[in-house]
Amino acid sequence: MKAMSSKKKINIISFLIVTVLCAAGCNNSTPAKKEVKKQVDYIKPIPGPSDTISVEIASKGEVLIGYSDCYTCHKKEERSAGPAFRDVAKRYPVNDAYIDYLAKKVIKGGSGSWGFPVMSPHPTLSLEDAKMMVTYILSLRKR
């Protein structure tokens, strides 16, 4: 047999060293950390007394929502692109101040109250119609 050249010996030794080091580095017994998204609870009820809701106004609001684009981003029971209507109802007390505030928010649009979703503005919606729609949404609190 021929004697192995010193260059081949160096190459083989280098290969073995690299292989051992790679194997040692790759053989990590601890599992990789999974990034866990922190669940943020946006349904923090705002304290305050609630007024009674007119069934007639809530029914009109339900019809107006049915003819609008609300269901594109919202669902009644579960979160979609925006919050579920029931979650909105759980957060806000039923009174004229919040109905007015939410109706104006529907018309102007906005973001930040429920995380990152952005609600597009609805400038052609009248304040009275928006109030009826919001009244219907808030009526879902007790259903």
- Answer yes or no: is 126 within a domain: yes
Q: Which of 129, 88, 117, 122 is nearest to 107 (CA)?
A: 122
Is 105 inside any structural domain?
Answer: yes
Token pair belonging to 52: 């009674």
Bridge partners, 119 (sequence order): 110
User: Does the model's pTM come out above 0.85?
Assistant: no
| 18-25 LR contacts (CB < 8 Å, sep 24+) | none
Q: Would the pLDDT of 1 be above 50?
A: no
Q: Looking at the 3D structure of the chain, how many domains does it have?
A: 1
Q: 58 pLDDT exceeds 60?
A: yes
The CATH number assigned to the domain holding 88 equals 1.10.760.10
